[in-house]
């Protein structure tokens, strides 16, 4: 867990954006 | 420092959270409701029918009343959970100065508004943080405004309630969610939980089924976790309280269950269920398991309940339990709701896990919330817009409403082009049916199909005068059920000439045909009997002077039929397919209405009532040969056949074999007909063999109202179910007068409910209830 704080912030930001993107894609499929 | 204080206040103030959630919900739903309140017709496929039924019921006396206006009459609210009807009856009475349509809308506006608040409360009961609970309230709002509604997830959301018209499901969702909240926490409140569960039972059948699944999952997993039987005991206590409180409804319902129709619907497509649930299910799983590791274990129980509901909704239960009124797509909304309100805990977990600096946490949260926020369209699009009638349609409603003591048939219309060229995407037929039938006049169709056995006949009858055919919610062998893909030679029925369909509508007492399609209207114009046409722009009103009266004196003896009454598991063909409704479907198909059938009150041939009652019938048909004492039954019918005509449908039973041996005896009038398994063909043979036996006047009357066993003749005349689902009365020369008499089961049910209610009140007042 501690190691995560050592990861560059932009990688953590990218992770959030990727998760949000996947969620968006899944929900978009659900809404069709 | 002051900013820090404000931040802490925002985080901690429950009242502020509630207010913000209310404001957010208002912001979202107010534009829709302001539009909805400005219209004359309640939105939703079933909306107009719901309001019309509530208004009608409000004018009746007693808990269960006879509503004659739709589907040839039905008892209300016995076939459906009664609470919503009772609540509106009460509200209409205490607010006479308000219009019923406004009361109706305000109640569902408040129900909608309270869902996000209850979500916040449930998550707080799980002891999750206030930030998570706040976000759960917001996610409940997303759930409400999701545009997904229909075959996949139907119920509770605004699209479902105000688009599909599943009003009672939203109504029942409130006590269901409150009950879920009460279940949580260390202190068990048996009275609160039992009463709320009882309210769910009498509010909506789909929510009651959902509650059963949740209770089973919740208590069994809790018992497993705690290695104790106490959770099972708690579930039993709640169940007993709920069943006791609702006994006033289910006791008479259980006794008369054969008089209500059910249809088990196919499961939800697993792909649809997965696509809808995947994102909230995954996030909520992350959240609840993390909270579990922190010692807050109940979130997992809720999550598992939601998961099991989803699993149940994709199982082919309509094949395994065809007699249950199970509509899997009506269960799934609760699964989605639970996952949605638990998802924020997962979002928080992801943000925590990635260990963002404190200032960035809010931004990260917003990024993850945004996809869910996107998961809706403008509410008006999701709901499907407001309904309206044209001036000509309103004029027609007003004119037809005045035609008392008569019945009309309205052509089914939906998603078709009107005569004026406009595409009509509202269920105008059901709106007209609700408005016209709500007055003195009757219409043969209704959205409340399960409450009247006559629906099996009114659906195909209405379809035979409609360009588009529709059937829903009941097993009907004359219809083509597109949802279940069930068809039994419906083309043979529908392809009959319109004159033949007219014969059926006349028998059904339909005096007015309200037709929109040019095709049907021009066919009707060609019939000389229907020259009296009135034009209402898109619609034509045809009067049929040859329609049968609502009460008719029979001139020939009806045929007494010994068979069973089944409302479910009715096969189309085969040796076991000859139940009352199936026989009458084919009787209706052949349209030889000079022969009326009546159903023997007991299918047992040796019942004690027989010797005297049998004499009322000059001919009898035996279809079911069950008898407790075969010898007694044989002697009885051997004697009967000496002076009356006895028709036998061949069977493998000993009784049939013995009676059939007398077929050639000159002393007996016995006619055996081979049971081929093809009900349609066999009924034709029966009808062709029957001979009209004239009877003296004033003995038999046919009432064109649905039969229900609560009907009793006040002078002691015999009341029977007659073809197809009407009521026949045998009187001693007097005009029949019927009254609805509550059976013993209704009285016993009411006593149980009252006793349970009183003991709970006494218990609550005298003791502070401690955890079991």
Whole-Å CA distances, B22 to B15, B113, B479: 11, 7, 47
User: What is the per-residue pLDDT across B238-294, written as a single tens digit (0 to 9) for each?
Assistant: 999 999 999 999 999 999 999 999 888 889 999 989 988 999 999 999 999 999 999
Question: CB count, 10 Å around CB of B767?
Answer: 9
Among chain A residues, CA nearest to B276: A30
Let me know the angle formed at the C-alpha of B265 by B448 and B315, rounded to the nearest 5 degrees: 150
Distance of CA B254 to the CA centre of its chain: 15
Cβ pair B355:A26 closer than 8 A: no
Cβ pair B276:A30 closer than 8 A: yes
In angstroms, the CA B95 to CA B356 distance is 55
User: What is the per-residue pLDDT across B386-420, written as a single tens digit (0 to 9) for each?
Assistant: 888 999 999 999 999 988 889 999 999 988 888 88
* Candidates A1, A4, A27; nearest CB to B372: A27
User: What is the per-residue pLDDT across B444-495, written as a single tens digit (0 to 9) for each?
Assistant: 999 999 999 999 999 999 999 999 999 888 888 999 887 777 888 899 999 9
pLDDT value of residue B415 = 85
**Among candidates B198, B231, B14, which has minimal Cα distance to B756?**
B198
Among A23, A29, A31, the residue to mutate for chain B (most B Cβ within 10 A): A23
| Chain A residues within 8 angstroms (CB to CB) of chain B | 1, 4-5, 9, 12-13, 15-17, 19-21, 23-24, 26-31
In angstroms, the CA B52 to CA B42 distance is 10
Cβ pair B279:A31 closer than 8 A: no
In angstroms, the CA B772 to CA B756 distance is 19
**What is the residue-wise DSSP string for B596-630?**
-EEE-S-S-TT-TTHHHHHTT-SEEEE-----SSH
Handedness of CA B572, B576, B581, B585 (dihedral sign): positive
pLDDT value of residue B768 = 59
Q: Which chain B residues are within 8 Å of A20, Cβ to Cβ?
A: 367-368, 370-371
Q: How does strand B718-722 pair with strand B597-599?
A: antiparallel
Cβ pair B279:A30 closer than 8 A: yes
User: What is the per-residue pLDDT across B171-213, written as a single tens digit (0 to 9) for each?
Assistant: 999 999 999 999 998 888 888 999 999 999 999 999 999 999 9
H/E run at residue B39: none
**Among candidates B26, B45, B35, B37, which has minimal Cα distance to B144?**
B26
Note whether B353 contacts A: Cβ–Cβ < 8 A: yes
* Candidates A1, A12, A23; nearest CB to B371: A23
In angstroms, the CA B373 to CA A24 distance is 10
Among B275, B283, B363, the residue to mutate for chain A (most A Cβ within 10 A): B275
Cβ pair A23:B372 closer than 8 A: yes
Angle between helical axes of B2-12 and B130-145 (0-180°, round to 10): 60
Closest approach of chain A CAs to the CA of B116, in angstroms?
A: 20
Note whether B292 contacts A: Cβ–Cβ < 8 A: no
Closest approach of chain A CAs to the CA of B309, in angstroms?
A: 18
3-class secondary-structure state, position B535: strand
Residues facing B540 on adjacent strands: B515, B535
pLDDT value of residue B772 = 46
CA within 13 Å, CB half, B160:
27
Note whether B275 contacts A: Cβ–Cβ < 8 A: yes
Q: Which chain A residues are within 8 Å of B360, Cβ to Cβ?
A: 9
* Candidates A12, A19, A30; nearest CB to B148: A30
pLDDT value of residue B9 = 83
Q: Which chain A residues are within 8 Å of B146, Cβ to Cβ?
A: 31
pLDDT score of B156 more than 90 = yes
Let me know the angle formed at the C-alpha of B181 by B178 and B187, rounded to the nearest 5 degrees: 125
Residues facing B645 on adjacent strands: B619, B669
**Among candidates B354, B352, B349, B346, which has minimal Cα distance to B372?**
B346
Encoding tokens for residue B558? 């009806």
Closest approach of chain B CAs to the CA of A30, in angstroms?
A: 5
Cβ pair A27:B370 closer than 8 A: no
Cβ pair A16:B354 closer than 8 A: yes
To which residue do tokens 């205490």 refer? B94
Encoding tokens for residue B660? 């059939």
User: What is the per-residue pLDDT across B310-322, written as a single tens digit (0 to 9) for each?
Assistant: 999 999 988 888 8
pLDDT value of residue B634 = 93
Among chain A residues, CA nearest to B366: A20
* Candidates B146, B368, B374; nearest CB to A16: B368
pLDDT value of residue B150 = 58
Q: What is the mean pLDDT of residues B115-139?
A: 95
Note whether B372 contacts A: Cβ–Cβ < 8 A: yes
Q: Which chain B residues are within 8 Å of A24, Cβ to Cβ?
A: 370-371, 374
User: What is the per-residue pLDDT across B43-78, written as a single tens digit (0 to 9) for each?
Assistant: 989 999 999 999 999 999 889 999 999 999 999 999
Q: What is the mean pLDDT of residues B743-758?
A: 96
In angstroms, the CA B384 to CA B45 distance is 10
**Cβ-proximal residues to B508 (8 Å cutoff; 6+ apart), any chain:** B72, B407, B409, B444, B457, B458, B461, B548, B704
Q: Which chain A residues are within 8 Å of B381, Cβ to Cβ?
A: none
Q: What is the mean pLDDT of residues B526-538?
A: 83
Q: Is residue B82 within 8 Å of B200, Cβ to Cβ? A: no
- Looking at chain B, the whole-number percentage of residues with pLDDT higher than 90 is 69
To which residue do tokens 């003591």 refer? B405
Note whether B347 contacts A: Cβ–Cβ < 8 A: no
Name the average pLDDT for chain B.
Answer: 91
In angstroms, the CA B25 to CA B35 distance is 16
Note whether B373 contacts A: Cβ–Cβ < 8 A: no
CB under 8 Å, gap of 24 or more: what pairs does B635-638 form? B636/B605, B636/B606, B636/B610, B636/B611, B637/B605, B638/B662, B638/B668
Note whether B212 contacts A: Cβ–Cβ < 8 A: no
Q: Which chain A residues are within 8 Å of B147, Cβ to Cβ?
A: 31
In angstroms, the CA B135 to CA B348 distance is 10
Q: How does strand B645-649 pair with strand B669-673?
A: parallel
pLDDT value of residue B234 = 92
Note whether B361 contacts A: Cβ–Cβ < 8 A: no
Q: Is residue B714 within 8 Å of B738, Cβ to Cβ? A: yes
pLDDT value of residue B616 = 86
pLDDT value of residue B771 = 46
pLDDT score of B147 more than 70 = no
In angstroms, the CA B447 to CA B30 distance is 28
pLDDT value of residue B609 = 64
CB under 8 Å, gap of 24 or more: what pairs does B578-581 form? B578/B623, B578/B624, B578/B649, B578/B675, B578/B679, B578/B682, B580/B721, B581/B453, B581/B456, B581/B724, B581/B725
Q: Which chain A residues are within 8 Å of B355, Cβ to Cβ?
A: 1, 4-5, 12
3-class secondary-structure state, position B432: helix
pLDDT score of B439 more than 90 = no
Cβ pair A24:B276 closer than 8 A: no
Whole-Å CA distances, B630 to B562, B575, B600, B658: 15, 21, 17, 10
CA within 13 Å, CB half, B423:
2
Q: What is the mean pLDDT of residues B682-708?
A: 90
Question: CB count, 10 Å around CB of B5?
Answer: 9
User: What is the per-residue pLDDT across B338-379, written as a single tens digit (0 to 9) for each?
Assistant: 999 999 999 999 999 988 888 888 899 999 999 888 776 666
Encoding tokens for residue B500? 């033949």
Cβ pair A24:B147 closer than 8 A: no
């Amino acid at each position: 867990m501690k190691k995560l704080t050592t990861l560059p912030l932009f990688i953590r930001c990218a992770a959030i954006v990727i998760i949000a993107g996947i969620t968006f894609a899944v929900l978009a499929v659900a809404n069709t | 420092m002051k900013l820090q204080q404000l931040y802490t206040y925002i985080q901690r103030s429950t009242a502020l959270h509630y207010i913000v959630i209310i404001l957010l919900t208002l912001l979202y739903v107010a534009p829709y409701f302001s539009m909805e309140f400005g219209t004359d017709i309640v939105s939703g496929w079933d909306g107009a029918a719901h309001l019309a039924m509530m208004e009608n019921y409000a004018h009746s006396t007693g808990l269960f009343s006879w509503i004659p206006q739709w589907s040839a009459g039905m008892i209300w609210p016995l076939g459906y959970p009664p609470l919503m009807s009772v609540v509106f009856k009460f509200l209409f009475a205490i607010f006479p100065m308000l219009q019923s349509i406004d009361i109706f809308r305000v109640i569902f506006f408040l129900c909608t508004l309270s869902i996000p608040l209850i979500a916040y409360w449930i998550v707080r009961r799980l002891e999750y943080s206030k930030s998570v609970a706040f976000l759960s309230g917001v996610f409940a709002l997303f759930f409400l405004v999701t545009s997904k509604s229909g075959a996949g997830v139907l119920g509770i959301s605004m699209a479902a309630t105000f688009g599909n018209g599943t009003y009672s499901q939203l109504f029942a969702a409130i006590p269901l969610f409150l009950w879920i909240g009460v279940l949580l926490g260390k202190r068990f409140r048996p009275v609160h939980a039992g009463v709320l569960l009882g309210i769910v039972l009498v509010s909506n059948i789909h929510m009651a089924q959902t509650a059963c699944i949740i209770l089973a999952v919740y208590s069994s997993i809790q018992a497993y976790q705690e290695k104790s039987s106490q959770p099972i005991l708690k579930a039993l206590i709640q169940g007993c309280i709920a069943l006791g409180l609702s006994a006033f409804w289910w006791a008479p319902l259980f006794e008369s269950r054969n008089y209500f129709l059910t249809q088990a619907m196919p499961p939800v497509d697993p792909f649809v269920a997965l696509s809808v649930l995947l994102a909230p299910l995954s996030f909520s799983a992350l959240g609840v398991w993390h909270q579990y590791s922190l010692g807050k274990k109940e979130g997992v129980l809720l999550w598992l309940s939601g998961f099991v509901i989803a699993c149940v909704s994709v199982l082919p239960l309509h094949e395994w339990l065809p007699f249950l009124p199970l509509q899997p797509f009506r269960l799934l909304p609760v699964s989605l709701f639970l996952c949605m309100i638990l998802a924020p805990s997962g979002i928080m977990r992801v943000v925590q896990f990635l260990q963002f600096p404190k200032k960035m946490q809010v931004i990260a949260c917003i990024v993850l919330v945004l996809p869910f926020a996107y998961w809706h369209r403008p509410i008006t699009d999701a709901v499907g817009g407001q309904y309206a009638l044209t001036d000509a349609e309103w004029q027609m409603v007003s004119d037809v409403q005045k035609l008392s003591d008569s019945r009309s048939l309205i052509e089914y219309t939906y998603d078709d082009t009107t005569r004026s060229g406009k595409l009509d995407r509202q269920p105008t037929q059901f709106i007209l049916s609700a408005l016209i039938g709500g007055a003195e006049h009757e219409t043969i169709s209704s959205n409340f199909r399960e409450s009247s056995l006559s629906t099996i006949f009114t659906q195909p009858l209405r379809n035979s005068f409609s360009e588009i055919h529709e059937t829903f919610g009941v097993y009907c062998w004359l219809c083509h059920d597109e949802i279940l893909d069930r068809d039994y030679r419906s083309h043979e029925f529908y392809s009959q000439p319109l004159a033949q369909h007219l014969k059926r509508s006349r028998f059904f007492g339909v005096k007015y045909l309200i037709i929109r399609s040019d095709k049907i209207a021009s066919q009707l114009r060609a019939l000389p009997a229907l020259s009296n046409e009135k034009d209402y722009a898109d619609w034509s009103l045809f009067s049929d002077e040859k329609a049968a009266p609502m009460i008719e004196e029979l001139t020939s003896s009806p045929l007494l039929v010994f068979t069973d009454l089944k409302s479910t598991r009715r096969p189309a063909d085969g040796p076991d397919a000859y139940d009352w409704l199936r026989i009458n479907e084919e009787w209706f198909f052949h349209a030889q209405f000079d022969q009326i059938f009546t159903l023997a009150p007991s299918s047992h041939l040796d019942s004690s009532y027989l010797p005297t009652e049998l004499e009322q019938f000059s001919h009898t048909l035996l279809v079911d040969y069950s008898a407790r004492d075969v010898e007694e039954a044989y002697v009885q019918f051997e004697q009967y056949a000496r002076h009356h005509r006895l028709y036998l449908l061949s069977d493998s039973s000993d009784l049939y074999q013995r009676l059939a041996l007398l077929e050639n005896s000159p002393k007996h009038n016995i006619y055996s007909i081979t049971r081929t398994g093809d009900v349609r063909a066999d009924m034709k043979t029966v009808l062709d063999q029957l001979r009209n036996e004239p009877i003296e006047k004033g003995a038999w009357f046919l009432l064109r109202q649905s039969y229900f066993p609560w009907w009793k003749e006040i002078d002691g005349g015999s009341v029977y179910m007659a073809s197809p689902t009407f009521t026949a009365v045998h009187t001693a020369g007097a005009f029949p007068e019927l009254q609805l008499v509550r059976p013993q089961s209704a009285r016993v049910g009411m006593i149980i409910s009252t006793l349970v209610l009183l003991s709970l009140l006494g218990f609550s007042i005298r003791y502070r209830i401690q955890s079991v």
